[in-house]
Amino acid sequence: MAPMSVLTRDEAQTRAKLLDVHRYQIELDLTRGDEIFDSRTVIRFSTRADGDTFVELKPAELRSVTLDGTLLDLDAHSLDENRLPLKDLTAGEHELRIDTTMRYSRTGEGMHRFTDPTDGETYVYTQLFMDDVQRVFAAFDQPDLKAVFELTVTAPEGWTVLANGITERQDDGSWRAAATPLISTYLVAVAAGPWHSVRTEHRGLPFGIHCRRSLAPHLDTDADEILDITRACFDRYHEKFEEPYPFDSYDQAFVPEFNAGAMENPGLVTFRDEFVYRSAVTDTERQTRAMVIAHEMAHMWFGDLVTLRWWDDIWLNESFAEYMGYQTLTEATRFTDTWTDFGIVRKAWGYDADQRPSTHPVAPDPEAVPDTASAMLNFDGISYAKGASALRQLVAWLGEKDFLTGINTHFARHKFANATLADFIESLAAATERDVHAWADSWLRTTGVDTLTASVTAQPGEWTLTLDRAGSRPHRVTVGVYDRDLNDSRALLLRERYETDIPQQPAPE
């Protein structure tokens, strides 16, 4: 069996040059039984020149395709694996209507369907990251073809339908979600079933947390804690970011059999429902859940409002959310020691990966990510842990004020659009005198660790600290001077903090 065609970076670039996608109207019918659902999509788009392109879909059955009002003969316009060719388009506006039946998934990809063994209730939810949109509806499936999404869902009696935008039940029994702002295809989300929900409002926006009914008592027990962390992070991000929260609601659904930890769908974050704790847990586990809440919320700005252009920048997306998540939790919640955990667990993972022959630069060469299939291969201790550590060093090196100024410039420049690592560096460079390009070259385009060694010499009345560096990268380090606590022999008291720069070593002539 031939593998489905994966989208290459070259194909994505060509298609982005040709197309401007405006709007998707998607109708899903979830009342067709256990195996399949109906999916009807209308895509409005324009082409900038005459040309050929394709739309992706993986249907159980393709019933009809109508292009600009003309029903296509499916014998002549058949699917080529997961691609429907659209030939001889003329420059201008187009409307594509596709009527299909799709298959539910049992693997967490596309529209996952789960029946709870506890009570026999059924739930479905989407996970469309990277290239699984086409399992749910027909789409020009690449991150830089953002569009407005309007969704209507027909669901069994007694279900609630959640989506990116606020949903409302209509007179005919179907559910309609408010149109999204411009978002990427991989961020569209639906979760439907007889959810147990705890709803509230914060800063005028509806907030909700949801789980399957059989977990209701456990969610209720922790609802205050989860919502308190959500509100605290939300408020803190509003202090840091000038762009207000970009979507119309904030739902967090704890869903069954989820493959990842969580997914940052705008307005509808999905979490694995193992985060609804069913027995006594340690405070470290509570901190982990809080960390994931903070991480996913950071993506609402960095990832969802401003989205990577291609998958070579996943590391930046994840490192940013990782950095912001730890930092914001420390600042805004009772979990004030998150960076200690990061230093022990995450950073050690990065150090380890970076000293192996298999290490690679934090930022891959774009040529190293030629298609969606290769995008996940480099996703390891370097991309996540070293990437987030480097970003934290960047904040120390720039100063948090300039870093946030740069970030806010970045959001203002690229909101509801896409950006690359180079755009990110440009935005930071606009906020500082420092040479951010050189910093990026030495930290993100190289491999291996630098070693800093501290030695202290003492003379009467004077201490001298010397820092030796093996390596060439610039570092900003903070040195703390401590006194022994006379009341507690195990404790130290901070007397003073000194910040110092270790400048970049010029490249040998």
Q: Which residues are catalytic?
A: 296
CB of 487 to Zn ion, least distance (A): 44
Using CB under 5 A as the binding rule, the residues of this chain from 129 to 158 that contact Zn ion are none
What residue spans of 334-399 are helical by DSSP H? 338-341, 347-354, 372-375, 387-398
Q: Which residue has the tokens 């989407």?
A: 126
Neighbours of 210 (CB within 10 A): 25
Which residues fall within 8 angstroms of residue 65, CB to CB, at 6 or more apart? 71, 72, 74, 77, 84, 96, 97, 98, 99
> Would you say 317 or 372 has its CB closer to Zn ion?
317
CB of 317 to Zn ion, least distance (A): 7
Interacting stretch for Zn ion, rule CB under 5 A, among 146-154, 181-189, 195-203, 317-325? 317-325
CB of 299 to Zn ion, least distance (A): 6
> Would you say 321 or 363 has its CB closer to Zn ion?
321
CB of 375 to Zn ion, least distance (A): 14
> Would you say 295 or 347 has its CB closer to Zn ion?
295
Residues 480, 484, 489, 493, Cα dihedral to 10°: -50
Please tell me the distance from the alpha carbon of residue 175 to that of residue 154, in angstroms, as a whole number: 6
Using CB under 5 A as the binding rule, the residues of this chain from 247 to 306 that contact Zn ion are none
Interacting stretch for Zn ion, rule CB under 5 A, among 161-169, 319-327, 419-427, 500-508? 319-327
Please tell me the distance from the alpha carbon of residue 143 to that of residue 138, in angstroms, as a whole number: 15
Of the residues 26, 98, 182, 321, which one makes contact with Zn ion according to CB under 5 A: 321
Interacting stretch for Zn ion, rule CB under 5 A, among 277-285, 310-318, 358-366, 434-442? 310-318
Using CB under 5 A as the binding rule, the residues of this chain from 80 to 99 that contact Zn ion are none
CB of 294 to Zn ion, least distance (A): 11
> Would you say 232 or 388 has its CB closer to Zn ion?
388
Residue 148: exposure state from Cβ atoms within 10 A (0-12, 13-18, ≥19): middle
Residue 3: exposure state from Cβ atoms within 10 A (0-12, 13-18, ≥19): exposed
Q: Please say whether the beta carbons of 147 and 21 come within 8 A.
A: yes
Interacting stretch for Zn ion, rule CB under 5 A, among 69-77, 176-184, 228-236, 318-326? 318-326
> Would you say 24 or 342 has its CB closer to Zn ion?
342
> Would you say 227 or 321 has its CB closer to Zn ion?
321
User: What are the tokens at 398?
Assistant: 């720039």
How many chain residues are in contact with Zn ion, going by CB under 5 A? Answer: 2
Using CB under 5 A as the binding rule, the residues of this chain from 392 to 451 that contact Zn ion are none
Residue 446's Cβ-side half-sphere holds a number of Cα atoms within 13 Å equal to: 14
Neighbours of 509 (CB within 10 A): 3
3-state secondary structure of 258: coil
User: What are the tokens at 61?
Assistant: 């059955």
CB of 186 to Zn ion, least distance (A): 13
Residue nearest to Zn ion (CB): 321
Interface residues toward Zn ion, by CB under 5 A = 318, 321
